[in-house]
Chain A
Amino acid sequence: MSEWWTYRLDDFLLFSPRVYWRLFEAQNAALWPLHLATTLAGLVLVLVILRWPGRAMLWTGLLLGPVWALVGWSFLLQRYAGINWAVAYAAPAFFVQALLLLAAALVPGGPLMGRLDAIANTGLGLALAGLLLYPALPFVTGRPLAGAEMFGIAPDPTVLVTIGLLLMARGRWLAVLLPIPLLWCLFSGLTLLAMGEAQAWPMLATSMLAAVLGALRLRRRAP
């Protein structure tokens, strides 16, 4: 792009906040009551990770893989790409992430869940926040509850929960499993920032957190 330095972040915003937030109302109306199932499955998965960490990665991949594919198809491609052509290019990354999560769950030598150290505890907090706090944001923002963003239905909470759960795991696989969620946090955070929404900050902070904690986790990898 020529003279790129003359552009501001909001010059790249193609749609109004009103249109964006209504996407979630439409998505929720179309998929209800799947929200209950995805949230419940997410909470049960957290329990499984805490109680039976040994085989937890299998269940993590088996839940998160399909959820990424569902969100990529039903939200990114079917709705969001309609108002933001850049998303049509981001959606395939959701399908790649779905495959990576399934692969990590199924192939031998995949990531392992284990002891709750500081990084894993942060991940646990992030996953619970994505599952329970993120959908409650309308109470703070004053937007309609019908547009609440929920795990497995909307991309942002799905990505936050994924990063949280991955930070509870260990192994080289994190190097391939974290980049796409991290990039989405950055992309979505910058979009929300351009829209002037304070909700940008949790997304941007999570991308930083994922980068730092992910790097620490990989460095401290068990021999």
Chain B
Amino acid sequence: MTLTRRSLMATAALGTAMLALPAGRVFGKTAPLARPIPSSGEQIPSIGLGSWITFNVGDDTALQAECTAVMAAFFAGGGRMIDSSPMYGSSQAVIGRGLATLGRPDTLFSAEKVWTSSGTNGPAQIEQTRRLWGVERFDLLQVHNLAGWEAHLDTLFAMKAAGRLRYVGITTSEGRRHDLVEQIMQRHPLDFVQLSYNPVDRDAEQRLLPLAAERGIAVIVNRPFQQGALTRRLDGEPLPQWAAEVGATSWAQLILKFILAEPAVTVVIPATTRVDHVRENLAAAGGALPDRDLRGRIAAHIGAL
């Protein structure tokens, strides 16, 4: 296996990050903004870590080390929630190896999904996923894209009642099936809902975000950077002067601050392959957040570019 310059740097970063990782809790001066999960009151840092594509590196040991370095930097910076799914190829196994290498940080908040249209296959898939992560139980299990949602919700609520799961949720993305998401949010005692939201994808503002606030459902925001399409588009564009008003030093931070300024949002889960990006993303949850007026300017400015 050939090593890349980035993977060598990642290994070095992993070393430093692990040294910086205390055995117990890592919250301190660097802890990012935390928000309560409405159904329990538990505080959760509002920047999480996604794993779609970025952590699907198969058996490539050099790239696995890069992923571990990203996770190490994430925990060192006070991050807790890592999100994955059986749909994401080798990501679950890569997370499991990374957690083992990092000595299974006890601050981890594991967010997984069940992804099969068959209700009967759900429990076996969840068990397989649990083994890949190497955790005793998951903090959160979500029905991925609502596939087989009725049967899976039965399973998940039963697991929660039996103490084998802490929170239950559902996911959607890119504005799909918001009608059904809304119905499920209204009828079932969900702890979490996951959806796409960013300055240019704002459908969720119409009904889902207000409903989540009203029903006390925590919101996880996926695709904050439109899978990188948004950050790539803005790359090279000058950051407006007024970004400094909220302490944003990059487009990525300005986007994350825009999202976090929405009070219904609990956690945003950008995915990355880079240690510098995970740090930059965590830092976005520190300092001021834009007010209504500034949010309007951010959305208008980014939308026009």
Whether, in the assembled complex, B291 has its beta carbon less than 8 Å from a beta carbon of chain A, the answer is no
Roughly how many angstroms separate A127 CA and B177 CA in the complex, as a whole number? 48
Asked if B89 and A82 sit within 8 Å, CB to CB, the answer is yes
Per the 8 Å Cβ criterion, residues 43-88 of B in contact with A are: 53-54, 56-60, 63, 87-88
Question: Closest chain A residue to B88 by CB distance?
Answer: A14
> Which of chain A's residues have a CB closer than 8 A to the CB of B174?
6
- Contact residues in A for B176 (Cβ distance below 8 Å): 3, 6
Whether B2 sits at the interface, judged by CB under 8 Å, is yes
| Binding stretch for chain B, among A17-25, A100-108, A165-173, A212-220 | A17-25
CA distance A166 to B13 in the complex (A): 52
**Smallest CB-CB separation from A20: which chain B residue?**
B58
Contact B58 A23 (CB under 8 A): yes
- Please tell me if B194 contacts chain A, counting CB pairs below 8 Å: no
CA distance A22 to B59 in the complex (A): 11
Q: Does chain A have a CB within 8 A of B305?
A: no
The CA-CA distance from A13 to B54 in the complex, in Å, is 12
Chain A residues contacting B304 (CB-CB under 8 Å) are none
Say whether B60 contacts A22, CB under 8 Å.
yes
Asked if residues B2 and A22 are in contact (CB atoms below 8 Å), the reply is yes
A14 contacts which chain B residues (CB < 8 A)? 53, 56, 87-89
- Looking at the complex, which one of A2, A16, A29 makes contact with B1 (CB distance below 8 Å)? A29
The B178-232 residues at the A interface (CB cut-off 8 A) are none
> In the complex, are the beta carbons of B1 and A83 less than 8 A apart?
no
Interface residues of B in 253-305 (CB under 8 A from A): 273
**Interface residue total, chain B, C-beta cutoff 8 A:** 18
Q: A22-B60, A146-B2 are in contact. Are A83 and B177 (CB under 8 A)?
A: no
**Bound Cα distance A71, B56 (Å):** 22
Report the minimal beta-carbon distance from A79 to chain B, rounded to whole angstroms: 7
CB-CB under 8 A from A25, the residues of chain B are 1-2
Chain A residue total in the interface (Cβ 8 A): 20
Other-chain contact of B54, A3, A16, A26, A146 (Cβ < 8 Å)? A16
What's the minimum C-beta distance from B176 to chain A, rounded to whole angstroms?
A: 5
Give complex CA distance A25, B63 in Å: 13
A85 touches B (CB below 8 Å): yes
Count, A-B residue pairs, CB within 8 A: 53
> Restricting to A27-61, which residues have a CB under 8 Å from any CB of B?
29
Q: Flag if B177 contacts A82 (CB, 8 Å).
A: no
A23 to B59 alpha-carbon distance, docked (Å):
9
Q: How far is the CA of A164 from the CA of B219 in the complex (A)?
A: 54
Nearest neighbor of A144 in chain B, beta-carbon distance: B2
Residue in A15, A79, A146 whose Cβ sees the most chain B Cβ within 10 Å: A15
For the complex, give the distance between the alpha carbons of A144 and B2 in Å: 11
Is B11's beta carbon under 8 Å from chain A? no
Residues of the B chain whose Cβ atoms lie less than 8 Å from the Cβ of A13: 53
Interchain CB contact (< 8 A) of A79 among B56, B59, B87, B89: B59
Q: Is the interface of B mostly helix, strand, loop or mixed?
A: loop
Q: Which residue of B lies closest to A23 (CB)?
A: B58
CB of A84 within 8 A of chain B? Answer: yes
Contact of A19 among B1, B2, B57, B177 (CB under 8 A): B57
Docked Cα-Cα span, A84 to B88, in Å, equals 8
Q: Are B88 and A19 in contact (CB under 8 A)?
A: no
Q: Does B90 contact A (CB under 8 A)?
A: yes
**Which residues of B sit under 8 angstroms from A85, Cβ to Cβ?**
89
Return the chain B residue nearest A146 by Cβ: B2
A127 to chain B, nearest CB (A): 30
State which residues 65-94 of A face B: CB under 8 Å.
79, 82-85
The CA of A13 and the CA of B90, in the complex, are separated in Å by 13
Q: Is the CB of B63 within 8 A of A19?
A: yes
Kindly supply a per-residue 1/0 record for chain B positions 220-257, scoring 1 wherever the CB is within 8 Å of any chain A CB and 0 otherwise.
Answer: 00000000000000000000000000000000000000
Collect the chain B residues with CB atoms within 8 Å of residue A16's CB.
Answer: 53-54, 56, 273
Chain B residues with CB below 8 A from A144, complex form = 2
Q: A82 contacts which of B2, B87, B90 (Cβ < 8 Å)?
A: B90
Residues of B within 8 A of A (CB): 1-2, 53-54, 56-60, 63, 87-90, 174, 176-177, 273
Known: A14-B87, A16-B53, A25-B1. 13 other contacts (CB 8 A): A6-B176, A13-B53, A14-B56, A16-B54, A16-B56, A19-B63, A22-B60, A22-B63, A29-B1, A79-B59, A83-B56, A84-B89, A146-B2
**A–B Cβ pairs within 8 angstroms, 16 of them:** A14-B89, A15-B56, A15-B58, A16-B53, A16-B54, A16-B56, A19-B57, A19-B60, A19-B63, A26-B1, A82-B58, A82-B89, A83-B58, A83-B90, A84-B89, A85-B89
Q: Which 10 A-B pairs have the closest CB atoms?
A: A82-B58, A83-B58, A14-B89, A83-B89, A15-B56, A82-B90, A83-B56, A19-B57, A25-B2, A3-B176
